[in-house]
Amino acid sequence: MATFDFSLVHDDLLLVENRLRDVASVDFPVLAGILRQLLQSGGKRLRPALVLLAARFRDYDHGKALAVAAAVEMLHTATLVHDDLIDHSLLRRGNPTLNTTWKSGVVVLVGDYLFGKAAELAAQSKSVDLGELFARTVAIICDGELRSLLDGKRWDTSREEYYRRIYAKTASLFATCSEAGAIVGEAAAEERVALREYGQNLGMAFQIADDILDFVGSERALGKPVGSDLRQGTITLPAICYVERHLDHPLVRRALGGDASDSVLSTLIDLVRASEAINDAYDAARNFSRQAKQNLAALPDLPCRQVMLDLADFVVERKT
Amino acid sequence: MATFDFSLVHDDLLLVENRLRDVASVDFPVLAGILRQLLQSGGKRLRPALVLLAARFRDYDHGKALAVAAAVEMLHTATLVHDDLIDHSLLRRGNPTLNTTWKSGVVVLVGDYLFGKAAELAAQSKSVDLGELFARTVAIICDGELRSLLDGKRWDTSREEYYRRIYAKTASLFATCSEAGAIVGEAAAEERVALREYGQNLGMAFQIADDILDFVGSERALGKPVGSDLRQGTITLPAICYVERHLDHPLVRRALGGDASDSVLSTLIDLVRASEAINDAYDAARNFSRQAKQNLAALPDLPCRQVMLDLADFVVERKT
């Protein structure tokens, strides 16, 4: 993602970095170190960029946009901290996660702290609508994660269930980012809806591409082992597409029957990697990307619109 | 606490229960069961009562007050869920905690979900001030808990450190409750400050009394073993007062030297229980209670004021 051209909002993104750095500047060295590590670990800043781009369709309040852009990145970071704890992940973006260094209580509280700080940044916008949107998004994300966790990980997951899951996990926050930009820009009601839908479709395409890269990417580019999702029991679209096409494959039958042994999973990861299921999943991602671009059809032809159109292609075609 | 007379706001508290029940009514039976267990487990509802009482000094918006009252209880519940996870507590109010039944990932997410729902309820107030207040409170609570956890548990904790800790842990939310009531009631600026300070002093008195009861209460009334705090390494005011008076006691020296063995702790719990340190701690609690009552001096002599004055006595004198 580092190669996508965000030059239109580059200066603003630097100001967002400053806001994030401010949050990390607490008078408590241990915590400051943890926050720096989390907030300066080279995330793609895709979500803040989305806020800033969506705000540009109108004559927006600059300070408000920066606060909201920092807030969405903070909220995203908070969810990552808790996700990594829940999944017992040891690596994130090639760096050790907090769980490798700190006991779980610290990790829980750091995530909570970031939720609070995200809400504080969002509140700086002085917008009731934004406060509601943020709160609803937190509830949607957690609700989705809880359902995934409590429902168990099943090989017979349908595409519909998968789409619901990635909406909650990823696309809901993308939708919130572009809608938040619209709110900051005081966009007209129909523009706000279009921008929200753009963000949602972009997020769906982004997450499907992420899930494909988990199979076909290189360990080096991913910063974690290939096939991590499946190894952790999370069934994503490539695996679902493979099952759709190969219901009678003996290993698929074993997996559907509940066999989650390392040897079965490793072979299945290789099979999915090399199969046409990857193209099936890319077709689905391109479909969401196409819808995202259509959502922008009625918006004015400004530079920010072109960047958002390019971004919709990029999230699918990227290699990392 | 069940014996305190909240009859002035009794009907409103029932409506708050309804709002909490609504949150628990999700279309996902497992989660609905967890939420019901958490939200209907017989908490004292002291925090919502505080919102409702503080709002009554003015002609307040009733629906807004109920939403905010439900929000503070939800926020409180969210923090308890994560606290019990962090402390590995098995009992809360005499009932098994979520950690006894669910894996930690579920407990983390249920807490997060409640944070989100609390923020949603707070956002229903359509007040920018309330949104800011809530967000700041979450950050203060987490910051305080993190400092306690990262700083380690030390027998040489000073009163000042203890007061800072219980402000973050308890009094900050009490202050937020009474200030939130003032905001809902659109109280004048100086009334809002007075009500916030009342809540803060009440919260300090409440937490000190709680920490005393952890030593002198009965296991049955507490719903958990006597001396739980000290056994978990948390040094509270009675222990601090005991150390102040008995710096040369051999067991105090051993504890200060880092001996946290069961035998040392058990004996120290018995010593603190039977000592004048309990009275010292009660003196401190009464002092905060007195300040809380003074904070109400300039407020109009309405029935809600009398209830709040009585409450300031009650939080100290209660036996459970």
* B142 chain-A contacts, CB cut-off 8 A: 109, 112-113, 116
- Given 3.30.390.50, 1.10.600.10, 1.10.1040.10, 3.30.1600.10, which CATH number is that of B9-210? 1.10.600.10
pLDDT number for residue A152: 66
* A150 chain-B contacts, CB cut-off 8 A: 28, 30-31, 106
> Is it the case that residue A197 has pLDDT exceeding 50?
yes
B52-65 average pLDDT score:
95
| A258-290 pLDDT, tens digit each | 888 899 999 999 999 999 999 999 999 999 999
The alpha helices in chain A, defined as continuous H runs, are: 10-24, 29-39, 46-55, 62-86, 104-123, 128-151, 159-166, 172-184, 189-216, 219-222, 228-231, 237-245, 250-256, 262-273, 277-295, 303-317
What backbone phi and psi angles, to 5 degrees, belong to B59?
A: -85, 85
A113 touches chain B (CB under 8 A): yes
A19-29 average pLDDT score:
92
B37-47 average pLDDT score:
86
CB contact under 8 A, B112 and A142: yes
pLDDT number for residue A90: 85
B272-296 average pLDDT score:
97
B113-138 average pLDDT score:
94
A232 touches chain B (CB under 8 A): no
| A290-318 pLDDT, tens digit each | 999 999 999 999 999 999 999 999 999 98
pLDDT number for residue B204: 98
**% of chain A with per-residue pLDDT over 70:** 98
B128 touches chain A (CB under 8 A): yes
How far, in Å, CA of A207 to CA of A221, rounded? 16
B138-166 average pLDDT score:
90
Q: What is the mean pLDDT of chain B?
A: 93
Secondary structure of residue B95 in the 3-state scheme: strand
> Is it the case that residue B1 has pLDDT exceeding 60?
no
Q: What is the mean pLDDT of chain A?
A: 93
- Cβ-contact B228, B239 below 8 angstroms: no
| B101-120 pLDDT, tens digit each | 999 999 999 999 999 999 99
CB contact under 8 A, B131 and A115: no
Secondary structure of residue B10 in the 3-state scheme: helix
Of the listed ranges A35-44, A202-211, A307-316, B203-212, the least confidently predicted one is: A35-44
Q: Which two tokens stand for residue A280?
A: 């099936």
B232 touches chain A (CB under 8 A): no
> Is it the case that residue B214 has pLDDT exceeding 60?
yes
**% of chain B with per-residue pLDDT over 90:** 78
Place of tokens 């998004």: A137
Q: Where are the domains of chain B?
A: 9-210
Q: Which two tokens stand for residue B30?
A: 């497992």
B188-210 average pLDDT score:
97
- Given 1.10.3720.10, 3.40.50.460, 3.40.50.300, 1.10.600.10, which CATH number is that of A9-317? 1.10.600.10
